[in-house]
With several copies, the nearest count.
Chain A
Amino acid sequence: MREITLSQAVNEALAEEMRRDETVFIIGEDVAEAGTPFKVLSGLVEEFGTDRVVDTPIAEPGFMGLAVGAAMTGTRPVVDLMFGDFIYLIMDQLCNQAAKTHYMSGGKMSAPLVVRTNLGATRRSAAQHSQSLHALVAHIPGLKVALPSSAYEAKGLLKTAIRDNNPVVIFEDKLMYNDKAPVPEEEYLIPFGEAHIKRAGTDVTLIGTSSMVQVCEKAAGNLAAEGISAEVIDPRTIVPLDEAALLASAKKTSRVIVVDEGHQSFGITGEIASRINEKAFYHLDAPVLRMGAMDVPVPFTPVLEDLTVPTPQSVAENARKLVSGEMIHAA
């Protein structure tokens, strides 16, 4: 199968959906001629024009609000939020308005929009351009949250997101834009709420999200060499969450590590771990182990920044301890 970059995959998903449905439009900063600072959208304005690939002023709350109203009245905006760290600026329009429109109107109105943004540290961009803030929106009923882990997921999930009638937030890993993966030429969609078993295994389950799927896969590779069989699962969407798949794996291996790039405390690892602990408790040999990003603002200097996120080494290390029966604490 041909291989394309995550960036190209996103670009294709948008182009295909915009061709299919003329109510889809992209709105955000520097999305048109510039094609975003990550060059993800290059070429789209040439095909779809400036009414459907809309360069905005630097006004995130404003264009997010505009997207909500546009979505409520018959279009499908794809909001381009340049950095995931700017999600704080759009929280009101996203969480007080978009997320609640359907419910507050008793099902009469809806806000079918997508917020495309990113996450991920180790790009030496410091504390305001390196956050992974998906936990914030996952907490708000009415929002769906997708975390693609490769070009394949990025395309399939984005296409599903655009067709979904609910507001969806999709976080791409900004360090993966140039990573290639096999992506079919033919159209495909990835349904929400279906986890993907990236690698089957029997000794320990590694649940990874976004960039951490790669990290888990590398860890699994290392572990395999030592005779430890790790299963790697990518939930792909955290809202909805494919509990059944996670529980099945947990029951099979009896040992689980949840790896995520958001801050560990009060983040998504606690939720996933809790659901597994609750529903597979008597199958577990040890409590579900969590590995999130350190609970510190992301430091600029590389020597510190690299310490803040889980690595294949640290995941493998924990998996080894877990399998060998050592009691492990998250702290």
Chain B
Amino acid sequence: MSSAKTSSNAEDYLRMYRQMVRIRTFEDNANQLYLSAKMPGLTHMYSGEEAVAVGICEALRVTDKITSTHRGHGHCVAKGAEFKEMFCELLGKEEGYCRGKGGSMHIADQSNGNLGANAIVGGSMGIATGSAYTARLLGRDDVTVCFFGDGATAQGLMYEVMNMAALWKLPVIYACENNGYSEYTRTDEIAAGSIIARAEAFGIEAHQVDGQDVLAVNELAQKLVARARKGEGPFFIELMTYRYHGHHVGDINREYYRSKEEEREWKQNRDPIIKFRGWLVAQGVVSEGEIDAMNAEIERDAAAAVEYALNASYPDVSEVDMHVFTDVEHALSQPTA
């Protein structure tokens, strides 16, 4: 845990803690929905990586943008989304953020600057860079954070857009969530050299940080976001973290690629929530009782949102050919098909 700050930051600390717990709680509920066969399809849990999304998004304004990944619930919550619309989306309901058309892998929340999860690994790197281009071109001072995994660093697109971001000094921060795995393969078996050095080779200032330490992440993010806002970007951050679940909710038997000991080690000794909670209590920012109450409240919120979503209605079948084009109400009833 990084050096303590004064308790004048108490509010910030508690918000960060709260957001981390909200993510974990959201994921636990989503996993339950999967296990009880109430959720269509598969989904990828963010549990274990909460300090990354929260540490970074807490350094951002609502007008700042993020792009997310297939493992996107954490980013979505951290950037300000509500449980209700999120669960509705996961269940394919009309009140979901994307009217049920996107689902877990495409969840987006434009109202809070979340440009969306992406089911193409690395697929959002161009989008984030373009968002930063808009800011520069239109003279806005917002910053864009591009979240992606260690596995995504294999995609050539990353090098193409880092080159442009560096050339044009775009206000974008590439945030590599290094959880050590690309699906069912250890990333060090499929990644040569150094991730940080790859960014640096393009003249991009790059940092590595403990992704389980929300204060360390947030401190670095605060600095880099402020500098990016002033035109000193782009930046690259490699955040060392871990995913607790399988690659997706269905990836249960995973000992062939990852040992139970390793999982236990991270969960027991490096859990970002447990660590931060201990620190908050030790510093006297909050009492154990207050934390328990907060956690319970979040759990109730989540349960209520799940309940709501389960009972919410699906989009009307007529929506199937809506939103293909912005200017055509129903793409298939047009003679122009």
Decide: B161 and A58 in contact? CB cutoff 8 A.
no
Decide: A72 and B163 in contact? CB cutoff 8 A.
no
**Which of the residues A73, A193, A297 comes within 8 Å of B115, measured between beta carbons?**
A73
Q: Mark B313-337, 1 if CB is under 8 A from A, else 0.
A: 0110101111111111001101111
- A93 on the interface (CB 8 Å rule)? yes
Decide: B160 and A104 in contact? CB cutoff 8 A.
no
Chain B, range 76-112, C-beta contacts under 8 Å to A = 92-93, 96-103, 105-106, 108, 110
B interface, by DSSP: helix, strand, loop or mixed?
loop
Chain B, range 48-62, C-beta contacts under 8 Å to A = none
- B127 on the interface (CB 8 Å rule)? yes
Closest chain B CB from A205 CB (angstroms): 18
Decide: A296 and B133 in contact? CB cutoff 8 A.
no
Q: Which residue of the partner chain B has the closest CB to A103?
A: B323
**Which of the residues B119, B137, B334 comes within 8 Å of A52, measured between beta carbons?**
B137
Contacts of A70 in B (CB 8 A): 130-131, 133-134, 137
Most chain B beta-carbon neighbours within 10 Å: one of A69, A303, A304: A69
Decide: A165 and B326 in contact? CB cutoff 8 A.
yes
A125 to B326, CA, bound (A): 23
- A74 on the interface (CB 8 Å rule)? yes
Decide: A304 and B319 in contact? CB cutoff 8 A.
yes
- B122 on the interface (CB 8 Å rule)? yes
**Which of the residues A73, A128, A166 comes within 8 Å of B120, measured between beta carbons?**
A128
Contacts of A69 in B (CB 8 A): 67, 115, 124, 126-134, 144
Closest chain A CB from B257 CB (angstroms): 6
- B155 on the interface (CB 8 Å rule)? yes
- A66 on the interface (CB 8 Å rule)? yes
Decide: A75 and B103 in contact? CB cutoff 8 A.
no
- A4 on the interface (CB 8 Å rule)? no
Q: Which residue of the partner chain B has the closest CB to A86?
A: B120
Closest chain B CB from A269 CB (angstroms): 13
Q: Which residue of the partner chain A has the closest CB to B122?
A: A58
A62 to B158, CA, bound (A): 8
Decide: B332 and A73 in contact? CB cutoff 8 A.
no
- B182 on the interface (CB 8 Å rule)? yes
- A37 on the interface (CB 8 Å rule)? yes
Interface size class of B (residues with CB under 8 A): 35 or more
Q: Mark B243-277, 1 if CB is under 8 A from A, else 0.
A: 00000000000001100000000000000000000
A296 to B137, CA, bound (A): 33
Decide: A294 and B67 in contact? CB cutoff 8 A.
no
Chain A, range 270-309, C-beta contacts under 8 Å to B = 294-297, 299-304, 307-308
Contacts of A59 in B (CB 8 A): 154-156, 160-161, 163-164
**Which of the residues A23, A37, A124 comes within 8 Å of B138, measured between beta carbons?**
A23
Decide: B98 and A65 in contact? CB cutoff 8 A.
no
Closest chain A CB from B108 CB (angstroms): 5
- A174 on the interface (CB 8 Å rule)? no
One of A12-20, A148-156, A238-246 contacting the partner? A238-246
Chain A, range 176-234, C-beta contacts under 8 Å to B = 193
Contacts of B322 in A (CB 8 A): 107
**Which of the residues A58, A106, A129 comes within 8 Å of B154, measured between beta carbons?**
A58
A104 to B151, CA, bound (A): 24
Decide: A57 and B67 in contact? CB cutoff 8 A.
no
Decide: A96 and B102 in contact? CB cutoff 8 A.
no
Decide: A65 and B126 in contact? CB cutoff 8 A.
yes
**Which of the residues B98, B116, B131, B332 comes within 8 Å of A295, measured between beta carbons?**
B332
Decide: B315 and A303 in contact? CB cutoff 8 A.
yes
One of B183-191, B212-220, B287-295 contacting the partner? B183-191
Decide: B161 and A66 in contact? CB cutoff 8 A.
yes
Contacts of A265 in B (CB 8 A): 337
- B123 on the interface (CB 8 Å rule)? yes
5 further contact pairs, Cβ within 8 A, besides A61-B157, A69-B126: A57-B151, A66-B133, A69-B67, A97-B118, A304-B92
| Listed A/B pairs (9) with beta-carbon separation below 8 Å | A34-B183, A57-B163, A57-B167, A59-B156, A105-B110, A166-B325, A166-B327, A300-B101, A300-B105
Residue positions of B touching A, CB distance < 8 A: 40-42, 65, 67, 92-93, 96-103, 105-106, 108, 110, 115-116, 118-138, 144, 151-152, 154-157, 160-161, 163-164, 167, 182-185, 189-191, 256-257, 314-315, 317, 319-328, 331-332, 334-337
Instruction: State the 10 A-B residue pairs at the shortest beta-carbon distance, nearest first.
Output: A65-B126, A69-B130, A62-B160, A301-B92, A106-B99, A240-B336, A300-B103, A57-B154, A124-B41, A69-B127
